[in-house]
Structure 1
Amino acid sequence: MAKLAPELQADLSDMTTSAETGAMLLDAEDGDALARNLAIPTLAGRLERPGRFAAIPLSSNHFGTAADCLAQAVYYEAALEPALGQRAVAQVVLNRVRHPAYPNTVCGVVYQGWNQKVCQFSFTCDGALMRKPQADLWRSAKAIARDALSGREVAEVGTATHYHADYVVPYWAFKLGKIATIGRHIFYRFPGSPGRAASFYGNWAGREIKPQVDFARFIETDGEEPIELVAEAVYTPGLTVEPDVRDRHAAADVGGRIDTTKAWRLTIPDPVEASAGYRNTLSSQGALVAAAPGSSEQPQ
């Protein structure tokens, strides 16, 4: 692999998918951003492909971990994009896994910079993970992730390692090679030899580790008042305490809460109204026990 230019190498950490306005974006109005992005020429010539990615055995425990990380990238970055656009995002992740400029694990690529001020995929460090996924979109994202890990390619984006939304203009868009626009995302590859298929030779590391994100880090301060980014409220009727995204329990387990929808109440029998066996026991001990109300039994 031809080495990245020093300036490009230094910029890698800032070349993120973030759509936030700020120092990393050029000044542009929303409408103007579309025009400026259209003005960036698309690379001419044949689009190279890095080949199928099928390095993680389906039977491996690491396949499930990798699929979960990849599904998160698909969901939080492109859940409302067309299916092709979602698959393209998955391919960008897997392209990075094989490129020497990035970590050589799926979770490592997805969560790169998650515990720093700047992360490569914005959802890992902007609080998006605290939003509970919509069930149908999450199922779709997981299916796309499994397909990608099983070798499904997206020829339209080839060796793309970057993308951004078309309503922003990141400064790095002019430093890379524009490949294609799918949905609201524009995809790019490294210029020159680093963006050629021959440079995607890295091997998968052999294991996957998903970071445990500390949601407390998403607490921001506005003056002296803390503002916490919390999950979208999902009201579940009958629970005395609403579920929280940080709860650690199975979906069918209310975690020790009393579920009043089951129409039961805790009752403790009155000893005076206890069973005949209980009264007989007391009687044998010399106690005078009255019969329960409505009973035909007589006191012993």
Structure 2
Amino acid sequence: MAKLAPEMQADLAEMTTSAEAMDSLVEIDESDALARNEAIPTMEGRIERVGRFSGIPMSSSYYGTANDCLAQAVYYEAALEPEQGQRAVAQVVLNRVRHPAYPNTVCGVVYQGWNQPVCQFSFTCDGALMRKPQADLWRKSKAIARDALAGREVAEVGTSTHYHADYVVPYWAFRMGKLATIGRHIFYRFPGSPGRAASFYGNWGGREFKPQIDFARFLAKDDGVVAMAAEPEYTPGLTVTPDVTDRHAKADVGGRIDTTKTWRLTIPDPVAASASYRDTLSSQGAATAQPTGTSEQEQ
């Protein structure tokens, strides 16, 4: 693999797929962003293909973990995107697995930077994983992940290693090679030799592990946000107001936790619950236990 340009190598950690630091976005509104992204020329010539991915046999004890990590990327990044767009996201993950600039495992790629301020896939570091996936969309994501691990390709994505939503313009979009737009995501490859198919020669690392995320840090962070928020800004029970720091496309499922909910999990008091239960039985005409030392009057 030809080496990445020094400035790109230095910025690689910040060139995230969907989690953009505030200073990495061009400050323009959505309509201007669409126009700016449209103005970035698509690369001419034949799109090279990395080839079928077949690095993880289904008999491997790590296959299920790899499939789960890949399905999470598909779900939280693009669950409501067109099916081809979901498959393209899966291909970006697997392209990175085979590129020397990134970890050589599926979970390693998906969770890269999960414990850092900026991660490569924002759902791993913004608390989105605390939300239980919708069953039907999750099943579809799992199926798409299986297809990708079995070698299914999206030709127009080619050697893409990056993408972003079309309503933002990250600084790195002007330094990469634009290949395709699918749904609301725009896909890019590295410029020059690092983005050529010959540079995707890495082999699967052989083991998959998912990190143990401390979700308490997201709750603490959200509590701080609520404490500093002005009273009129949030209405209990409603969805949080969209914010520029939300790092997901509009069609994505992931995002910030709704901290405006007022309900809390409570455990009933056993004594109160018992009395309530007896009252309910009495109101329905059922016999209840008599206190010790008493007897029923004869009819």
Structure 2 length-normalised TM: 0.77
How has the CA–CA distance of structure 1 residues 126 and 153 changed in structure 2, closer, same or farther, with 3 Å as cutoff?
Answer: same
Is the Cα contact below 8 Å between 2:164 and 2:187 reproduced in 1? yes
How has the CA–CA distance of structure 1 residues 179 and 230 changed in structure 2, closer, same or farther, with 3 Å as cutoff?
Answer: closer
SS across alignment from 2:94: helix
Pairing 1:181-220 to 2, within 5 Å after superposition: 181-218=181-218, 219-220=220-221
Deviations 1:77-129 (A, max 9, x none): 00110000000000000000000000000000000000001100111111211
Pairing 1:47-62 to 2, within 5 Å after superposition: 47-62=47-62
Partner of 1:155: 155
Partner of 1:237: none
Task: Point out the more displaced range, 13-22 or 112-121.
Answer: 13-22
Partner of 2:117: 117
Question: Is 2:73 the partner of 1:69?
Answer: no
Pairing 1:16-95 to 2, within 5 Å after superposition: 16-18=16-18, 22-95=22-95
How has the CA–CA distance of structure 1 residues 47 and 12 changed in structure 2, closer, same or farther, with 3 Å as cutoff?
Answer: same
Deviations 1:222-244 (A, max 9, x none): 479389x657999xxxxx958xx
Compare the two structures and name the one with the higher helix fraction: 2
CA distance in 1, matches of 2:99, 2:38: 28
Amino acid at match of 1:31: S
How has the CA–CA distance of structure 1 residues 214 and 226 changed in structure 2, closer, same or farther, with 3 Å as cutoff?
Answer: farther
CA distance in 1, matches of 2:47, 2:226: 53
Amino acid at match of 1:78: A
Amino acid at match of 2:194: P
Partner of 2:132: 132
Is the Cα contact below 8 Å between 1:132 and 1:231 reproduced in 2? no
CA distance in 1, matches of 2:8, 2:226: 39
- Following superposition, the deviation at residue 163 of structure 1 comes to 0.2
- Following superposition, the deviation at residue 22 of structure 1 comes to 1.6
CA distance in 2, matches of 1:146, 1:38: 33
CA distance in 1, matches of 2:139, 2:12: 32
How has the CA–CA distance of structure 1 residues 5 and 175 changed in structure 2, closer, same or farther, with 3 Å as cutoff?
Answer: same
Is the Cα contact below 8 Å between 2:18 and 2:163 reproduced in 1? no
CA RMSD of aligned residues (A): 3.2
Is the Cα contact below 8 Å between 2:180 and 2:187 reproduced in 1? yes
How has the CA–CA distance of structure 1 residues 206 and 233 changed in structure 2, closer, same or farther, with 3 Å as cutoff?
Answer: farther
Deviations 1:201-226 (A, max 9, x none): 00101010011111112122547938
CA distance in 1, matches of 2:212, 2:19: 24
Task: Point out the more displaced range, 192-201 or 123-132.
Answer: 123-132
Is the Cα contact below 8 Å between 1:97 and 1:103 reproduced in 2? yes
Is the Cα contact below 8 Å between 1:132 and 1:232 reproduced in 2? no
Partner of 1:280: none
How has the CA–CA distance of structure 1 residues 223 and 46 changed in structure 2, closer, same or farther, with 3 Å as cutoff?
Answer: closer
Task: Point out the more displaced range, 131-140 or 172-181.
Answer: 131-140
Structure 1 length-normalised TM: 0.76
Is the Cα contact below 8 Å between 1:131 and 1:232 reproduced in 2? no
How has the CA–CA distance of structure 1 residues 64 and 121 changed in structure 2, closer, same or farther, with 3 Å as cutoff?
Answer: same
CA distance in 1, matches of 2:130, 2:258: 5
CA distance in 2, matches of 1:91, 1:34: 24
How has the CA–CA distance of structure 1 residues 22 and 65 changed in structure 2, closer, same or farther, with 3 Å as cutoff?
Answer: same
CA distance in 1, matches of 2:207, 2:6: 30
Q: Which has the larger radius of gyration?
A: 1
Partner of 1:5: 5
The percent of aligned pairs where both chains have the same amino acid is 73
Amino acid at match of 1:225: A
Pairing 1:99-118 to 2, within 5 Å after superposition: 99-118=99-118
CA distance in 1, matches of 2:80, 2:66: 22
CA distance in 2, matches of 1:123, 1:199: 28
How many residues are paired up? Answer: 257
CA distance in 2, matches of 1:213, 1:90: 22
Amino acid at match of 1:186: I
Is the Cα contact below 8 Å between 1:113 and 1:120 reproduced in 2? yes
SS across alignment from 2:23: coil
SS across alignment from 2:181: strand
Is the Cα contact below 8 Å between 1:111 and 1:124 reproduced in 2? yes
CA distance in 2, matches of 1:2, 1:11: 17
Task: Point out the more displaced range, 20-29 or 162-171.
Answer: 20-29
What residue ranges of structure 1 are gaps of 5+ in the alignment?
A: 235-239, 243-254, 259-264, 273-289, 295-300
- Following superposition, the deviation at residue 20 of structure 1 comes to 5.3
